[in-house]
Homo-oligomer: A and B are copies of this chain.
Amino acid sequence: MPFSLILNNIAKHIHLTNDEQDIFTAYLQSKTIKRKQFMLTDGDICKYSIFVTSGCLRGYTVDKSGIEHVLSFAPPGWWIADMYSLISQKPGILNIETLEDTEVLLLSKVNQEKLYLQIPKFEHFFRVLVENSLVASQQRLIDSLSLTAEERYNNFCKRYPTLIDHLPQKQIASYIGVTPEFFSRMRSVMVRKR
């Protein structure tokens, strides 16, 4: 069943009865997307929380000089959305794109709110989820203020071990906040150091 990953994920934080599991999964919409497709683009209103069951996505913004900044990668078992737009239902600034062929489960904002009313435990689940995102986001902000590019790269390797050999270098460069040229040079220096 395609739901085992998401249900195990939830079971880490709240216990659902079989009936509740059925209610929940009925609210989900399953989707398969080819690589390099957009699930959301700059200016869209974000209507869904996306849960990844296979493949990988990235969320990024484009600044006024046209440079892309990757905010997050979403390998299997992770959620991704434009939180600003999802909450406010105003046009967002995030682009969400598949990096390879990908399967996702969509939970619409409308269904998410029904879920809060029907099964209040989900308020708890999503609160915990958002708390963890907040901690990660704050830590990344601290890192970007206080670490060198090389240290940020080492942190990235720890945080996303499955992604390193699996992702174009320019995407990693964008995530840690340097140009692909500098990233390439930095890596060759790191290899020489050993």
Please give the residue numbers on chain A whose beta carbons come within 8 Å of chain B beta carbons, in ascending order: 61, 63-64, 67, 69, 71, 83-84, 87, 93, 116, 120, 123-124, 126-127, 130-135, 137-142, 144-147, 177
Contact = CB atoms under 8 A, between A and B. Distances in A.
A55 to B, nearest CB: 23
Contacts of A146: 61, 63-64, 67, 69
Contacts of A126: 127
Contacts of A138: 71, 83-84, 137
Contacts of A133: 134
B87 A142 contact: no
Q: Is the interface of A mostly helix, strand, loop or mixed?
A: helix
A135 to B, nearest CB: 5
Copies held by the complex? 2
A177 B61 CA distance: 21
B123 A83 contact: no
Contact of A130 (B84, B134, B139): B134
Nearest to A84: B135
A134 B82 CA distance: 11
11 contacts: A63-B145, A67-B146, A69-B142, A69-B146, A71-B142, A83-B134, A83-B135, A93-B142, A120-B123, A123-B127, A134-B134
A68 to B, nearest CB: 10
The residue in A131, A134, A138 that gathers the most chain B C-beta atoms within 10 A of its C-beta is: A138
A173 to B, nearest CB: 12
A118 to B, nearest CB: 13
A69 B145 contact: yes
Contacts of A124: 116, 123
